[in-house]
Structure 1
């Protein structure tokens, strides 16, 4: 999972790092690597500190993935501090790099994990990877499922919300607009 995350960070690192005059070119690769490490470690920290609801909100789309999201805020703060400490970037420059890159990478990660046609990321693999133990992973997945159940998304009545339910909704309820209507109560 870390390798795929690193690829996403490299993909979005162009504007935030490579094309940024505040980041010396000799540090571009190391700054991109640090961003990947910060995202992974930040998600691990949130999972280890009992942030199941925050992670569930991130992965099920119930909270926007922008600067108002607590997960984005925590990882952005961590990366900002790290860039200043390790590469001597000013606070404003570090914050600019982090706040440009973190929401983009997390949005892409979540969208890829939710896309049934993209097997590069699976939500369960991501959760298992960041949680480090099955108890935490199970708790996070249970929280994601619980919120899905509250929205009435358990289409096959198996007691959990998973990809089979998403397929059932999109096939029987008007495609993706039907799925979004279910989520937003329309």
Structure 2
């Protein structure tokens, strides 16, 4: 996923980095690589600290702008890293991070939700940021295996996947409602 994320950063880094006179040209590539790794490690950190609701919020179609808690956290992290590692001013670091993070996350989410675009899958993103833990894939396998029997295909696409889990989790009853459906309660 890091390679795909790096491609998105390069795609959206033109104005924020390359065309930004406050970022020295010889640092452009390094700054964009730092943006990719900061976004990825930031998502991993949010997942490891139990921020599943925040991450799920990204895939539910909510605002992916400066008001989004994930965007705020990633922007602060990247801004700090750019200042520390490349000596960029606070304003420059904040502007680069503040313009790139929402664009990259919007593109990532839109690609993951687009059934015609196989470059990102929500389940792959979750597995990647959760450290490819067996637990994440086991949960996805179990839900896929039994979910159809219990009416968990929330978006009627013929499969039970993370988007269906997110839909159930965000509805009344949350995950307890999901478990209730799975176990007939």
Change (3 A) 1:43 1:161: farther
Correspondence 1:142-157 to 2 at 5 A: none
- 1:10-159 alignment, distance < 5 Å: 10-61=10-61, 63-132=62-131, 133-135=133-135, 158-159=151-152
The count of aligned residue pairs is: 153
Quote the residue 1:151 is aligned against: none
Query: What RMSD, in angstroms, separates the aligned Cα atoms of the two structures?
Result: 2.3
Task: Tell me what 1:175 maps to.
Answer: none
Report the CA distance shift for 1:125/1:162 in structure 2 as closer, same or farther (over 3 A). Answer: farther
Instruction: Supply the distance in 2 between the matched residues of 1:54 and 1:36 (Cα, whole angstroms).
Output: 19
Q: TM-score, normalised by structure 1?
A: 0.76
Specify the SS of the correspondent of 1:108.
Answer: helix
- Give the C-alpha shift of residue 162 in structure 1: 5.9
Correspondence for 1:8: 8
Match status 1:164 vs 2:144 = no
Listed as ranges, the gaps of 5+ residues in structure 2 are 160-185
Post-superposition offset of 1:163: 7.2
Q: Where does the alignment leave 5 or more consecutive residues of structure 1 unmatched? A: 146-153, 167-186
Q: Which residue of 1 aligns with 2:162?
A: none
Offset, 1:164: 1.4
SS at match of 1:64: coil
Shift of residue 136, structure 1, vs aligned partner: 5.2
d(CA) in 1 for partners of 2:22, 2:50: 36
Q: Name the CA shift for 1:137/1:43 in 2 (closer, same or farther; >3 Å).
A: farther
Residues 138, 41 of structure 1: CA spacing in aligned structure 2 closer, same or farther, 3 A cutoff? farther
Distance in 1, matches of 2:58 and 2:87, equals 31
| Cα drift, residue 16 of structure 1 | 0.2
Separation in 2, partners of 1:30, 1:69: 26
CA deviation digits over 1:122-164, x for unaligned, max 9?
Answer: 000000000112435677x7xxx9xxxxxxxx99963244671
